[in-house]
Amino acid sequence: MNYLEDFNWRYATKRMNGKPVPAEALNNILESTRLAPTSLGLQPFDVIVVEDAELRRLLSPAIYNQPQVNEGAALIIFAAWKKISPDKVDAYIKNIAVTRNTTVVALEGFKNMILDSISGKSDDQVFQWNARQSYIALGYAIAAAAFEKVDSTPMEGFNPAEVNRILGLEEKGLSAVSILAIGYRDEEKDYLANAPKVRRPAESFFTIYENEPVA
């Protein structure tokens, strides 16, 4: 049950205290995003890590001056692919072939299934699909940070066009979708540090169809 304690411990931290996050904890949080599941296994987003304090200062107005940007230790930016090009699909198929000791030819059917599932979608639909995959990785990172006793703030409160411009993401076929600030809470300045969690009651949140008792 320890992980539920960690999930109760974590909260979307509003003020952080400037302490650095140890490299091992940061690496573990990042690795959790790489291990997150994605539809068809495509991982159609990049994860950009900004520890550089100067670059975070530059990004701050684009993230509406939310204090965690500069008071935290790093920003983890989830940037979805704007398209899924045939090159990306080829690279994925090759990766499977090498990793699982099989051949590209044996994976032809799977490759065509991927191409088919993209071909019926508009560029925007593909981007939205990719963005949804990135949120699973965001969730993994939030959970991993809690396990590491590192505070974090998921953020959609930013101007993607500005973040894209500063980091040159459009040129790379990417667009920022969400940002996770990580660091350590400043209990004195953060009015939410000791606030109880607000959640819908379990009775209305869950609908559970139980097994019929065996006669």
Ligand X SMILES: Cc1cc2nc3c(=O)[nH]c(=O)nc-3n(C[C@H](O)[C@H](O)[C@H](O)COP(=O)(O)O)c2cc1C
Binding site for ligand X (CB under 6 A): 11-12, 14, 66, 153-157, 178, 197
25 vs 141, beta carbon nearer ligand X: 141
Residue 103: CB minimum distance to ligand X, A:
40
Residue among 166, 181, 161, 176 nearest 81 (CA): 176
Residue among 13, 133, 41 nearest 81 (CA): 133
43 vs 152, beta carbon nearer ligand X: 152
162-198 burial code (b ≥16 CB/10 A, e <16)? ebbebbebeeeebbbbbbbbbbbbbeeebeeeeeeee
Residue 183: CB minimum distance to ligand X, A:
13
Ordered strands of the 151-155 beta sheet: 45-50, 74-81, 174-183, 151-155
7 vs 110, beta carbon nearer ligand X: 7
Q: Where are the beta strands (DSSP E) in the chain?
A: 45-50, 74-81, 151-155, 174-183
100 vs 199, beta carbon nearer ligand X: 199
Residue 195: CB minimum distance to ligand X, A:
8
Residue 39: CB minimum distance to ligand X, A:
19
